[in-house]
Chain A
Amino acid sequence: MTSNHVIALTGVNKTYPLGRLKVRALTDINLSIGRGDFIALAGPSGSGKTTLLNLIGCIDKPDDGRIIVDDVDVTRIPLHRLASLRRDTLGFIFQTFNLIPVLTAYENIEYPLLLQNLPRRERDARVRRWLREVDIEAQAKQRPDQLSGGQRQRVAIARAMVTEPKLVLADEPTANLDSDTAAHILDLLAEINSRTNTTFVFSTHDPSLIARAERVVRIKDGRIAGQQTADSRQQEVA
């Protein structure tokens, strides 16, 4: 893998047990993702896009094949020993936001920095910066149940970005938001991507989100059915 790639998957297969049967979730996945990419994994429900995201995010293991994340072959290391890689290299944005309910917006964003043992002053500076970036300074002391869906997702984005990860994985980040809020969140993700050169990989079947992606990887029945860049999509439309 060249240093330009953050992710490289080679011959990845994944099955899940379903009673006595084994269900193939992913078959022979080969995929490279470069630094600063803004990529959508698109496909219908059950196509395997969340499974692929989980494998890239080092929270699940493939049956076989290799997965290189930031020059580390993560398939050779047990998941519980990949905690530091997830902490320092990856950021996660979830469909259901997954904020810690007993922590305020500020504390939720601060949490990953505590895992990194950053000094208090640096933590505070970074948290305040990201509160500003996602425009929720006024809600800093509020807990998740006092925030709207859009505000919660902004907190989740700030939490994912505060450690300055190389790669952010977002699982259906706009699925639980209304269309206006979803558009704002998309603008925010795209703006962060272009400004910080952070790689974004998100699973979605939202056409508006797919339209904003630089590259779309289409997944169907656990296989990569095709890939399109923004240019090729424009040519198709033309």
Chain B
Amino acid sequence: MIIKLALRNILRNGRRSAITLTVIVFGAVGLILFGGYKARTFYGLRESTIHGRIGHMQVFKEGYARSQSAKPLDRGLDDVTSIRKEIERDRRVKMTAAQITLMGLVSNGDKSETFIATAVEPAKDHAMNSQRITSGTDLTDSESDAVMVGKGLAESMHVKPGDYLTIMTTTTSGSLNAMDVRVAGIFMTGVKEFDERAVKMPIAGAQLLLQTKKVEKLLVFLNNTDDTAAVHSAIATRMRGIEIKEWSQLAPFYHQVVALYNGIFGFLGIVVFAIVVFSVANTILMSVFERTREIGTLMAMGTTRGRLRAMFVAEGVGIGVIGGILGLAIGALLAMLINRGHVMLPPPPGYTVGYRLEIMMQPPVLITAFLVSFITATISSILPALKASRMKIVDALGHI
């Protein structure tokens, strides 16, 4: 009877209930869309960070993190082939890619700039798809003295594919070494400051320039990001003389974005919570005032205070459930339409390219949106319910 009464009382003043439900639906839709956008952003940023730059984990020679040596690759990996073979035994590992990072000067004969180079295995780097080539071609394993230059650096040095540059850096023994390189292509990552300093070169060329056979690190790529911790543990158990860092330790930007978005999402949640609380509380409170005589009648007939409270809380629950379900349905529909609409967003600060607005429909987001609607509507009904149950029967019966 309590549920029947609650549902009928919700429908009793259809217009007012519709307005309240609209508020709840707006709240739930807002949470679903922003939550879905946030989930997609986290996922996209995580996967692009992993696959485009840092891998699921990176393997270094033991003591690398504590090393303060001024000489490059003083703590580099010597026997990368055997380490790679051991790591790739694990079926969860998709591939490994050796890398060296080096810095120095790049010159076109008239002008010099500092550069940060990433030396890669070209074939593996293709698979990472870490940059967009704007002109020229990608690196190949066969041409060790070719480089790709970041768009901003290429503009600064006035070079185009086929031109030559000279790059100079300190070798592993501490002396200076220079090398003429052909510009195979020009690329952009979207991060302006990086593209103004970036050079990419084959690892063989970098080893020639640095006069070493070592590599700085081995990037490990997995088939599934969720296996990271398990594979880390398995490798650490099997192998000695190395140290491993997982992607989450190597991606401070990712964590900053997560913290920022979670802060915004939390604030949005509080705003939605407040709006829903006031709206539902107002609706039920109005209902209490309108039904004062009815409340008096129910109490005169022997309805207990607890049962009366339950009746009004049931109305809040009913509004929350209906609003939550409608919110889920409309939120899911809007998310689908947005995903199909290929909406492009402008570039974020520090980036030169925009990105597509996508909403990821994850169960935790949907469950959160429903629970927020349901719980806030229920909480909102408690105060009016208490007010109703504390009425004096005589006063309530005499209410006009």
On A, residues with C-beta under 8 Å from B are: 54, 57, 59-60, 79-80, 83-88, 90, 92, 94, 96, 98, 100-103, 107, 111-112, 114-115, 159
Beyond A59-B393, A100-B294, whether A112 also contacts B301 by CB under 8 A is yes
Q: Give the CA-CA distance A159 to B1 in the complex, in Å.
A: 16
Stretch from B107-115, B131-139, B302-310 that touches the partner: B302-310
Determine whether the beta carbon of A98 is less than 8 Å from that of B293: yes
**Can you spell out 13 A-B residue pairs with CB atoms less than 8 angstroms apart?**
A54-B394, A60-B393, A79-B392, A83-B305, A85-B302, A86-B302, A92-B297, A98-B296, A100-B294, A103-B5, A107-B1, A114-B1, A115-B302
Report how far A84 CA is from B393 CA in the complex, Å: 15
Chain B residues in 8 Å Cβ range of A60: 393-394
Cα–Cα distance between A92 and B303 once the two chains are bound (Å): 13
Inter-chain CA distance A112–B298, complex, in Å, is 9
Q: Does B304 lie within 8 Å of A94, measured CB to CB?
A: no
Most interface-central of A60, A85, A98, A112 (chain B CB within 10 A): A98
The smallest beta-carbon distance between A122 and chain B, in angstroms, is 15
Closest B residue to A92 by beta carbon equals B300
If A57-B300, A80-B305, A87-B301 touch, does A101 touch B294 (CB 8 Å cutoff)?
yes
Secondary structure type dominating chain B contacts: helix
Closest to B1 in A: A114
Q: How far, in Å, is B8 (CB) from chain A's closest CB?
A: 4
B residues engaging A (CB < 8 A)? 1, 4-5, 8-9, 12, 293-294, 296-305, 307, 392-394, 397
Closest beta carbon of chain B to A56's beta carbon, Å: 12
Q: Is the interface of A mostly helix, strand, loop or mixed?
A: helix
Q: State in angstroms the CA–CA spacing of A57 and B301 once bound together.
A: 10
CA distance A170 to B8 in the complex (A): 28
A89 to chain B, nearest CB (A): 9
- For B398, the closest partner residue in chain A by CB is A50
- Nearest-neighbour CB distance to chain A for B372, whole angstroms, equals 29
Cα distance A114–B297 in the bound complex, in angstroms: 15
Residues of B within 8 A of A92 (CB): 297, 300-301
For the complex, what is the distance from the CA of A80 to the CA of B5, rounded to whole Å?
A: 22
Total A-B pairs, Cβ < 8 A? 64
A100 touches B302 (CB 8 A): no
CB closest chain-B residue, reference A97: B297
User: A101 contacts which chain B residues (CB < 8 A)?
Assistant: 12, 294
Residues in A with CB closer than 8 Å to B299 are 59, 83
Inter-chain contact A111/B394, CB cutoff 8 Å = no
The residues of B that contact A59 with a CB separation of less than 8 Å are 296, 299-300, 393-394, 397
- B302 to chain A: closest residue by CB: A87
Chain A residues, CB < 8 A from B5: 100, 102-103
Task: Point out the residues of chain B lying under 8 angstroms from A86, CB to CB.
Answer: 300-302
- B303 is contacted by which of A54, A102, A115 (Cβ under 8 Å)? A115
A159 CA to B296 CA, complexed, in Å:
15
A98 touching B9 in the complex, CB below 8 Å, given contacts A54-B394, A84-B302, A115-B302 = no
A186 to B301 CA separation, bound complex (whole angstroms): 22
What CA separation (Å) do A92 and B302 show in the bound complex? 10
User: In the assembled complex, how far is the CB of residue A93 from the closest CB belonging to chain B, in whole angstroms?
Assistant: 11
Interchain CB contact (< 8 A) of A88 among B300, B302, B397: B302
Question: Which residues of chain A have C-beta atoms less than 8 A from B296's C-beta?
Answer: 59, 98
Least Cβ–Cβ distance between B277 and chain A, in angstroms = 25
Question: Which residues of chain A come closer than 8 Å to B293, judged between CB atoms?
Answer: 96, 98
Nearest-Cβ distance from residue B291 to partner chain A, whole angstroms: 9
B393 to chain A: closest residue by CB: A59
> What residues of A have a CB within 8 angstroms of the CB of B393 in the complex?
59-60, 79
**Known A83-B305, A102-B5; further 6 A-B contacts with Cβ < 8 A:** A54-B394, A57-B300, A59-B393, A92-B301, A98-B296, A111-B301
Closest to A85 in B: B302
Q: Which residue of A lies closest to B394 (CB)?
A: A60
Shortest distance from the beta carbon of B303 to any chain A beta carbon, whole Å: 6
Q: Report how far A155 CA is from B299 CA in the complex, Å.
A: 18
In the complex, are the beta carbons of A100 and B297 less than 8 A apart? yes
Contacts of A112 in B (CB 8 A): 301-302
- Distance from B354 Cβ to chain A, minimum over Cβ atoms (Å): 54
Residue pair A102, B300 in contact (C-beta under 8 Å): no
User: Nearest Cβ distance between residue B398 and chain A, in whole angstroms?
Assistant: 9
List B contacts of A102 (CB < 8 A). 5, 8-9, 12
Q: Residues of A contacting B307 with CB < 8 Å?
A: 115
Given A54-B394, A59-B394, A60-B394; A83-B304 close (CB under 8 Å): yes
Bound complex: CA A223 to CA B397 (Å): 23
**Could you tell me if A83 and B297 are in contact, using CB atoms closer than 8 angstroms?**
no
CB distance B297 to A98 under 8 Å?
Answer: yes
